Every structure is written in structure tokens, then in C-alpha cells.
Amino acid sequence: KQEVTQIPAALSVPEGENLVLNCSFTDSAIYNLQWFRQDPGKGLTSLLLIQSSQREQTSGRLNASLDKSSGRSTLYIAASQPGDSATYLCAVRGGLTQGGSEKLVFGKGTKLTVNP
Amino acid sequence: EAQVTQNPRYLITVTGKKLTVTCSQNMNHEYMSWYRQDPGLGLRQIYYSMNVEVTDKGDVPEGYKVSRKEKRNFPLILESPSPNQTSLYFCASSPLRGLSSYNSPLHFGNGTRLTVT
């Protein structure tokens, strides 16, 4: 059974700092990995999607990397701002342990606080 | 505006009283899915649908039903709700491209907070 772990569970940083969020998964035979942002009381907003054949994706101050063989992904946030405060979740799609199905398995998220 | 719309946003009900949470998307997406989010357990998939009249179980389908009679709608039905179904529910959709939806990002609704007493 695919398991997705995010470390740390919570992170507090001063404004302007560069930071890295981590995501690991147990079944490396995934189809893609997606990073989401969730604001309190809101739904999830897709930030970046990395296909299984890709190593990284970039959007503005965000950069996500994927190392399938080691079962790891990182989300790098450059020059963090208070508006980046939210919970960040990663999710993996597919995998041999799921029979290649459409199931999406989420990590429990990292709650980020960027202090002014 | 492209969006996934869930209704209601908040719902308080009693054990055993049937309820339906609606989900509608205006993006002509083939793939739709329901999740529940619980503290300490994260997001877990309940059911998903690849297209009209095609549904399949996720990781926690017990106590739930879904239907996909139209492409845009994917209601979640709780025939006899119980307190352990108190949770935050999310609907999501994405397109299917060719034979695979695997490289299409999911679009989420704003959630439905359900309380069963």
C-alpha cells in the first residue's frame, strides 16, 4: 500500500528565507506527483505537477523536484512571504501497489508559517 | 470561471438521516473524485469516476454511495450517516487526456463540512 510522508509537520520561518518541504513515498512506480496548497477553511489549489518522467517543475518562486528511484520529492520556496503561509500537501498518483489505478494518495501536509 | 462547486458548505444532521452532497464542475472533465479530510489522517479518497456511469471505490468507500449520470455532476450520498462520517469533504475533477489522466492536475472544490450527531 502506497504511503506518503511529509516532514516536517510544521515549519515557521522569517520572511525572505528560502525553504524546502519534503515528501517521501514508499512505492516508486508512480505516474505523477502533485504539490497542493491549502488555506484554512478552503479547498486545495494545485501548485505543481511532476510527471513520472520529469525531474523538476518550476512556477515562479516555487520549484519541485522528483527522484522516483529514492521515493522523494521536494518543494523549494524562494524568498518566502507571509502570503505563503498555508498547509502544503503532496500527493502521488498510481503505483504498482495500487494496481496502477486512479487512486491519489496524500501526505498529511506541512503547515508553513512565514513571519513578517 | 472554471470551477468545482460543492453544496452545501456546511451541514449538520442526525444519525440515520439520508443526505446528499452535490458536486458540479464546468470544465467538461471526465475524471471526478471525492475525498474526506480528517485531523491526523489527512485526505483519503472515497470514490472516483472516470466518466459517465463509471465509478470505482477509493480507500474508504464504506457508508458512501456515488452516481455519475451526467458528466458535470458527481453527488456523494450518505444513506444512513453515522457520527464517524463527521468530516471535511472535498470533490475534485480533472480531464482525461488520451488514455491517461495521470498527468492532469486536480481541481478541488471548497469543501463541505459535515457534522453528524
Q: For each of chain B's 117 residues, which pLDDT tens digit applies?
A: 779 999 999 999 999 999 999 999 999 999 899 999 998 888 999 999 988 999 999 889 999 999 999 999 999 999 999 999 999 999 999 886 544 445 678 899 999 999 999
% of chain A at pLDDT higher than 70: 93
The mean predicted confidence, pLDDT, of chain A is 90
Give the nearest partner residue to B42 out of A34, A52, A107, using CB atoms: A107
Give residue B98's pLDDT: 45
Residue A8, preceding peptide bond in cis (omega within 30° of 0): yes
Give residue B25's pLDDT: 97
Give residue B66's pLDDT: 98
Spatial separation of the C-alpha atoms in residues A93 and A33, rounded to whole Å: 6
C-alpha cell belonging to residue A11: 515549519
Q: Is the pLDDT of residue A99 over 80?
A: no
Q: Is B47 on the interface with A (CB under 8 A)?
A: no
Sign, CA dihedral B102-B108-B112-B113, equals: positive
Q: How confident is the model at residue A47 (pLDDT cuts 50, 70, 90)?
A: very high
pLDDT tens per residue, range A54-94? 999 999 999 999 999 999 999 999 999 999 999 999 999 87
Cβ-defined contact of A102 to B31 (cutoff 8 Å)? yes
A84 CA: distance to closest CA in chain B (Å): 19
Count other Cβ atoms within 10 Å, centred on residue B15.
Answer: 11
Q: Is the pLDDT of residue A112 over 90?
A: yes
Comparing alpha-carbon positions, the chain A residue that sits nearest to B47 is A103
